[in-house]
Amino acid sequence: MKRSKWKMTEQASFLLKLGELLEYGYSLSDGIQFLKFQETKKKRLDLDEAVEELMRGYPFYAVLTALKFHPQLISFIYYAEQYGDLSRALKEAGTYWEKRSSDMEKIQKLLVYPVLLLLFVGGAFYMLQGVLLPQFEVLFSSMDAKENGFLAFVRLASSFLSYLPYILGAAVILGLLLRQFWYMKLSPLKRRLLLLKIPILGPFIKLYETQFFASQFSSLLSGGLSLKESILLFSENQQQPFYKNLCLIIKNELTEGKPLEDILKAMPYFDKNFSIVAANGLKYGRLDQELFHYSRYLLEKIEERMTLAMRIVQPALFSIVGILVISIYLAVLLPMFSLMKDI
């Protein structure tokens, strides 16, 4: 199949609309045919070929794989096509990814203006170092005046900025080399552990992964699968090596007779309350419902944390920019006042 690059928001919107059409009684191919007229010419060609692949008997998750949809979205469909409710899975995947894409867009918009300001301020510091500071040094030397302490600090800071592009470039190259020759050679579980140790980002990843696992686990149990059958299906998903490896461990420990709550409690990849929710669900015989409500709670918690993070990050970024701007003004004005005082 020809592959076009769908944006994440476009992937989410397409799946959400398709799920709604399935609820109204459309078949999968008819729903895609209906939606293709709302897409661009290039995407219409993709969807035409997608329908042909469905007619040949390919599962929908394989069609989305060929279209290069995100692996986590494909996993929603993979599990639903095995034993779950496809329309519900499509809507859930679309809603989940719309929220995630919306959060990423908010972060990008939050960072654009401060980053532009930081670039502008960095340029101003370069001008200070290359033009103003040498003039002030000559002036102080000719008048035998004592150099202002703040001016010396600014000169040191601007001197450091001249090396900053080289430092950043070296850091990027080193990061790419480490990723290629070390990080990607680690097992999926070890890679995830490293990501979870990243400050600020790690807790968000843990919440997202717990929400996804609880949501999909709930769907499989609601579809009539047993606990072991659900874990086995998770372990067969090639789209997400992390969950494949993780569920192989869970499957083996369940076979050895360990309780699910104890297995989840010992794993550092999930939210600490996950094992408690699982224990309650097993105790009262409603694990699917407990996991479903818990996944909804986690979505709300993620949204709350994103909002809080943006409330903290935005003022912090603007404060840094403001301090830099004030430093430039002081670097220009204080030497003048110092000279006027010495005259």
Residue 38 pLDDT: 83
Residue 1 pLDDT: 44
Q: For all residues of the chain together, what is the average pLDDT?
A: 80
Percent of the chain having pLDDT more than 70? 77
Q: What is the mean pLDDT of residues 254-272?
A: 90
| pLDDT higher than 60, residue 23 | yes
Residue 3 pLDDT: 47
Least confident of 34-48, 55-69, 196-210, 302-316: 302-316
Helix ranges restricted to H, the chain: 8-23, 28-36, 41-55, 60-66, 71-83, 86-127, 133-142, 149-181, 188-196, 201-222, 227-235, 241-255, 260-265, 274-284, 287-342
Report which of 233, 235, 239, 236 is spatially closest to residue 220, judged by C-alpha positions: 233
| pLDDT higher than 60, residue 147 | no
Residue 230 banded pLDDT, cuts 50, 70, 90: confident
Q: Specify the higher pLDDT residue, 142 or 71.
A: 71
Sequence-distant contacts of 296-302: CB under 8 A, at least 24 apart: 298/207, 298/210, 298/211, 298/214, 298/271, 299/96, 299/99, 299/211, 301/207, 302/99, 302/103, 302/204, 302/207, 302/208, 302/211
| pLDDT higher than 60, residue 265 | yes
What's the predicted TM-score (pTM) here? Answer: 0.69
Q: What is the mean pLDDT of residues 50-72?
A: 88
Residue 190 pLDDT: 92
The model's pLDDT over 305-328, given as tens digits with 9 standing for 90+, comes to 877 877 777 677 677 767 766 766
DSSP letter string, 217-232: HHHHHHTT--HHHHHH
CA distance 224 to 236: 18
The model's pLDDT over 87-120, given as tens digits with 9 standing for 90+, comes to 888 888 888 777 777 777 776 776 676 677 667 7
Residue 301 pLDDT: 87
Residue 274 banded pLDDT, cuts 50, 70, 90: very high
